Structure 1
Amino acid sequence: MVDTPPQKGAKQRIVFMGSPAFAIPTLDHLVKTHEVCAVYSQPAKKSGRGMKTMSVPVAAYADAAGLPIFTPANLKSAEIESQLASYNADLFVVVAYGLLLPATILTIPRFGCLNGHASLLPRWRGAAPIQRAIQAGDSKTGISAMIMETGLDTGPVVGVRQTAISKHDNAASLHDRLADLTAECLGAVIDGAPNSLASPIPQANDGIIYAAKISSAEAMIDWQQPADVLDCHIRAFAPYPGAWCFGPKGRLRILEASPMAMPAVPQTAAPKVAPAGSFLGKTADGAMIIACGQDALKITKVQPAGKTSMTASDFLNGSALAISAFLHPETSPENK
């Protein structure tokens, strides 16, 4: 249960928990305005083709800032619980930590555990709220600051920031904007205004949607879908894992595209009605035009397998893609 909220301007003793780059603006803000007595992040993991150990962004920031940093695999031990209690913290602030906090830990800090979640709760609870909001074609999203409970993103809300999702936003641009909004939102709450910790607002029982973790498999493009749906799909998975299909020389990631009206099919093309997934030619500025289930996509940036990203114009110059060629799994050399 939350006690008397912090007064505006009072420095709070904070244990910060976060892992990816998304959490760094909030940690940076708290270091400058409050007393961060310890930082917890996920342990470093091996990844990539060389299985190199990659540092966790929050851990790297904390180390450079001279903050005590701990990277336990989980928080389920009595030793960890005792360690956290020893800080006598006012708040535990959690941003994209990636580990569950047991119920016994939620009650340790004086004012409770405060979480910054990248959606307008209760919409998009869960692991991938940024990608799912873009994929669904949402016109807006935001940050919810909530008092943590044992349920997944179910806690009452004490602060909100909203932002529009533009037709040009992808997961990367929205990620960066929301990271800054998280710092702003949590900073205001911790400072005690405008919404105090004493007056949390329970989440609505309707409008609950879960944002499942994304995967490379689901990023595959289904050209039978309308162009506006695929536009959202491509932006949601850019830059990672990247929406993809198969070109004449293997897997092709589509990084930037926009919907357009279906152009007239060239007289040399057959059949006269272009099937979804067929290459219809290029625009005056060199972009690829691909037929969709409804309308077409103008593709401006791609990444062929084993290569760096490039403009669609450069890709076409090096691929000799024929009019009416198909971007389908069946056309991949791997499937012949």
Structure 2
Amino acid sequence: MSLSTSTQQAVLNRPLRVVFAGTPEFAATSLEALITEQESLGVDIVAVYTQPDRKAGRGQKLAMSAVKQVALSHGIPVEQPATFKKSSVEGMAARQTLCTYQPDIMIVAAYGLILPIGVLTTPTYGCLNIHASLLPRWRGAAPIHRALLAGDDKTGITIMQMDKGLDTGDMIYKVSCTIESEDSASSLHDKLARLGADAISTVLKDLSHYQAQAIVQDDSQANYAEKLVKTEGQIDWTQHAATIERQIRGLTPWPGAYTFLNGARVKILESLPVNDAQPTDKPAGTIISVGRKAILVACGFDEGQKADKSSTQASTLRITQLQFAGSKPVSAEQICHGNQLDDGDKFASDSD
């Protein structure tokens, strides 16, 4: 059943009962916006679902998710089931609890738990997902990072009617966002979080229209944004400078790009965009020059150059900020004045 928000309210004689499910800051941005706009949107957020508290920090103390903090600050009931599986007592109890809230619709954003079909069909109008990519590109856990690593020039938000597949549901609303040359995973996350909040508000203002216009995803165009692992941060200096520069931006702040100098790990925090990289005949990983504006490092060839056996000139990367083990981040200028690196030093791809 698909009705406009105003018609839904008239039929129900009350605001739409919304359950929100999410965990990190990305989701908290949308939750905060929806709470602020409840009256104008004609909705009532009756409960918030988020992942159980996790140990965090050096003290390993239990910490609330960003979504839980927002919900509690507004006096909204919080549920934190570990599972919705039918095969477990806890999962069945979680399903029953969800039913007691009598949700008209469920809004999901980076929740972190798989919702089985029995949960997806509990709300009257189903579950809507706020996904940080232009589906069907970058289904999965790390769409923001994968877009940067792949060198995409744009991404965006897709509001999707959830089904039992992994980000395979019909697309209700899409809005795009340019990926700027200076964007990191952190800055792009913040842009998309704000865009996601605006997008879900837009959909809720005229739910029937957007549900009626839903478009089936073309599975042949789909690709998957696999979850990040720490080892992806390890820099291979034989790659082209543009690839490494995207790695640095795409993995900031976590897991971070890193290399080794004399067996010690060094984090590479920032570098300049690679346009026409200055060519070099130095071995990959060699520090060509330590300047006040940037540290110039020799990198590898692109695929075209590798195929051209006559080419002897590799690419270069200009690093502007890094962090030595046990120290604070330092700029290229600080390194230049501090004599912490010398021309001819060499970064290694491993600690050996």
Flag whether TM exceeds 0.5 (same fold).
Answer: yes
Deviations 1:218-252 (A, max 9, x none): 11111111111111111100121111111236111
**Residues 252, 305 of structure 1: 8 Å contact kept:** yes
**Cα shift at 1:141:** 0.2
The residue type paired with residue 192 of structure 1 is D
* Of 26-35 and 42-51, the range deviating more from structure 2: 42-51
Match in the other structure for 1:19 = 23
Equivalents in 2 of 1:264, 1:165: separation in Å? 26
Deviations 1:174-200 (A, max 9, x none): 000000110111111111169522331
The residue type paired with residue 222 of structure 1 is D
Matched, 1:42 2:63: no
Equivalents in 1 of 2:279, 2:169: separation in Å? 53
Equivalents in 1 of 2:166, 2:338: separation in Å? 48
**Cα shift at 1:329:** 4.1
Equivalents in 2 of 1:229, 1:37: separation in Å? 46
**Equivalent in 73, 83, 88 of residue 82 of structure 2:** 73
Considering fraction of residues, name the structure with more helix. 2
The residue type paired with residue 293 of structure 2 is G
Matched, 1:64 2:73: yes
Matched, 1:6 2:15: no
Deviations 1:91-110 (A, max 9, x none): 10000000011110111111
Matched, 1:176 2:159: no
In the TM superposition, structure 1's runs of 4+ consecutive aligned residues that sit over 6 Å from their partners are none
Equivalents in 1 of 2:225, 2:7: separation in Å? 34
Match in the other structure for 1:227 = 241
**Cα shift at 1:20:** 0.1
Equivalents in 2 of 1:108, 1:262: separation in Å? 55
- Aligned-pair Cα RMSD in Å: 2.0
**Cα shift at 1:307:** 2.3
**Residues 319, 332 of structure 2: 8 Å contact kept:** yes
Equivalents in 1 of 2:84, 2:175: separation in Å? 30
**Equivalent in 277, 302, 305 of residue 285 of structure 2:** 277
Equivalents in 2 of 1:195, 1:230: separation in Å? 44
Distance 1:124 1:260, change over 3 A: closer
**Equivalent in 311, 325, 328 of residue 345 of structure 2:** 325
Q: Secondary structure at the match of 1:53?
A: strand
The residue type paired with residue 165 of structure 1 is I
Match in the other structure for 1:29 = 33
Equivalents in 1 of 2:72, 2:240: separation in Å? 48
Match in the other structure for 1:251 = 265
**Cα shift at 1:157:** 0.6
Q: Secondary structure at the match of 2:129?
A: strand
Deviations 1:129-187 (A, max 9, x none): 00000000000000000000010000001011100001110001100000011011111
**Residues 3, 207 of structure 2: 8 Å contact kept:** no
Equivalents in 2 of 1:8, 1:180: separation in Å? 28
**Cα shift at 1:83:** 1.2
Deviations 1:54-81 (A, max 9, x none): 2211111111111101111112222111
Q: Secondary structure at the match of 2:19?
A: strand
Deviations 1:198-223 (A, max 9, x none): 33110112221000001110111111
Deviations 1:241-272 (A, max 9, x none): 1111112361111111122655587xxxxxxx
**Residues 5, 198 of structure 1: 8 Å contact kept:** no
Which runs of 5 or more structure 1 residues have no equivalent in the other structure? 266-272
Calculate percent identity across the aligned residue pairs: 39
* Of 10-19 and 112-121, the range deviating more from structure 2: 10-19
Match in the other structure for 1:304 = 324
Match in the other structure for 1:145 = 159
TM-score (norm: length of structure 2): 0.87
Q: Secondary structure at the match of 1:206?
A: helix
Q: Secondary structure at the match of 1:245?
A: strand
Please show how residues 97-116 of structure 1 align to structure 2 within 5 Å.
Answer: 97-116=111-130
Q: Secondary structure at the match of 1:197?
A: helix
Equivalents in 2 of 1:75, 1:85: separation in Å? 12
